């Protein structure tokens, strides 16, 4: 199989006419900026022959930030990043984690749940996420459980609830993005929701909602009436 070695370079040409990231940060605020663009703002400059946004996209593609702050050594191994900027990025991520991490954020409804995961709406592959909650519905953790193909992801209840049990969670929320932009649940979405609800009932860790989201917004399966919360 042959691989296209110029994909990122061609992508860089598409950025030339886009407004400066710092200008958009100032005018529209951080929520309007994609994840890779925030990384680009931290990095400041690209590498030789590589636009900073291309480098930032590569960093995002090769690092699972949902699993925690990556190590300097791992980031330094990304071509073009270097030790100094890897340290800068790790420091920024750690500071954000300490001051604005999701832990202990209260989730009162679907809007709150969507805000926790909406920054994944620009991903080209489906990501299935699980948010574990304590008894007061404060967030314990938000994790990417699986990454799927362009239009589907495969998840098993054991992958979801192993983390919930380890966290000693009292409830969970799950969510996944639809790269197509569609917000209506598929038959597979309904099936996995039902399986997760059944597993949660057995384990005593109820499923509170399944959020389907994209750049167009979100759908709550509780609000749409396709999922009822087990209050037992």
What single string gives the DSSP state of each residue in 71-91? Answer: PHHHHHTSTTTHHHHHHHHHH
Place of tokens 């996944």: 176
Reported as a pLDDT band with limits 50, 70 and 90, residue 119 is confident
> Does residue 155 form part of some domain?
yes
Residue ranges of alpha helices (H) inside the chain are 7-13, 21-28, 35-43, 52-62, 72-76, 82-100, 110-117, 157-166, 187-203
Q: In percent, how much of the chain has pLDDT > 70?
A: 84
Nearest CA among 210, 193, 204, 211 for reference residue 230: 204
> Does residue 2 form part of some domain?
no
Q: What is the pLDDT of residue 71?
A: 86
Domain-terminating residue out of 100, 132, 162: 100
Domain-terminating residue out of 100, 120, 148: 100
If one counts the domains in the chain, the total is 2
More confident residue, 199 or 115: 199
> Does residue 204 form part of some domain?
yes
**Looking at the structure, do residues 92 and 144 belong to the same domain, yes or no?**
no
**Looking at the structure, do residues 176 and 121 belong to the same domain, yes or no?**
yes
Q: What is the pTM of this model?
A: 0.64
Q: What is the pLDDT of residue 118?
A: 86
> Does residue 13 form part of some domain?
yes
**Looking at the structure, do residues 65 and 161 belong to the same domain, yes or no?**
no
Residues spanned by the domain of 14: 7-100
Q: What is the pLDDT of residue 228?
A: 85
Q: What is the CATH number of the domain that holds 201?
A: 3.40.140.10
> Does residue 118 form part of some domain?
yes
> What is the helix, strand, coil percentage profile of the chain, to 5?
45, 15, 40
Q: What is the pLDDT of residue 58?
A: 87
Q: What is the mean pLDDT of residues 188-211?
A: 94
**Looking at the structure, do residues 118 and 213 belong to the same domain, yes or no?**
yes
DSSP tag of 15: T
Q: What is the mean pLDDT of residues 62-69?
A: 73
pLDDT digits (tens, 9 = 90+) for 145-187: 888 765 566 788 999 999 999 999 999 999 999 988 888 898 8
């Amino acid at each position: 199989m042959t691989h296209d070695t110029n994909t990122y370079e061609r992508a860089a040409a598409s950025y030339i006419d886009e407004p400066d990231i710092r200008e958009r940060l100032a005018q529209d605020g951080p929520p309007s900026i994609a994840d890779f663009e925030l990384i680009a703002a931290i990095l400041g400059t690209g590498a030789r022959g590589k636009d900073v946004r291309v480098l930032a996209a590569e960093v995002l593609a090769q690092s699972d930030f949902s699993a925690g702050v990556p190590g300097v050594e791992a980031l330094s191994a990304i071509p073009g990043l270097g030790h100094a900027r890897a340290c800068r990025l790790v420091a920024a991520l750690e500071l954000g984690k300490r001051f604005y991490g999701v832990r202990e954020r209260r989730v009162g409804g679907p809007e709150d749940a969507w805000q926790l995961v909406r920054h994944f709406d620009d991903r080209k592959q489906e990501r299935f996420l699980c948010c574990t909650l304590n008894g007061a519905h404060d967030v314990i953790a938000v994790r990417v459980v699986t990454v799927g193909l362009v239009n589907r992801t495969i998840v098993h209840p054991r992958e979801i609830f192993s983390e919930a049990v380890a966290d000693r969670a009292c409830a969970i929320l799950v969510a996944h993005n639809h790269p197509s932009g569609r917000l209506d649940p598929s038959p597979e979405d309904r099936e996995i929701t039902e399986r997760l609800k059944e597993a949660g009932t057995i384990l005593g860790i109820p499923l509170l909602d399944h959020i389907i989201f994209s750049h167009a917004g979100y759908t709550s399966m509780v609000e749409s009436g396709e999922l009822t919360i087990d209050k037992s």
